Each structure stands twice: as structure tokens, then as C-alpha cells.
Amino acid sequence: YLPDRNAVTLKKIYREKKRIKLVPANKYMKPFYETNVEIQGKVVGVLRREL
């Protein structure tokens, strides 16, 4: 959860000294940096079904 943006999103998280780098799961979106985040869960697997 990103309180400053009032948003919930799926990102990869990379901790740096004074900030956190968030990399979107969508490769067409750019990474960004935040200092105020709340981790609400963790993806532990993906289920896919071929059509």
C-alpha cells in the first residue's frame, strides 16, 4: 500500500539506504522510489491456465 498515493499495486521491492525502489510487474511502467510504504502481502506463486 502506498499511503502517499492512496494506491495498492504489485511491485518488486528493492531496499536502499533511505528509500525503497519499487519496480512494477508491468514491464511497460517505469520503476519509482518511495519512503512511505506498507507491505500487505507477498506473491508466493502464480497459477496459469492455457486457453
User: What pLDDT digit, counting tens, does each position of 28-44 carry?
Assistant: 989 999 898 888 889 89
On whether the CB atoms of residues 4 and 35 are closer than 8 A, the answer is no
The residues that bridge with 34 in the sheet, in sequence order, are 20
- Reported as a pLDDT band with limits 50, 70 and 90, residue 50 is confident
pLDDT exceeds cutoff 90 at 12: yes
State the pLDDT at residue 7: 76
Higher-confidence position of 6 and 18: 18
Mean pLDDT of 14-20: 94
- Distance between CA atoms of residues 3 and 26, nearest Å: 21
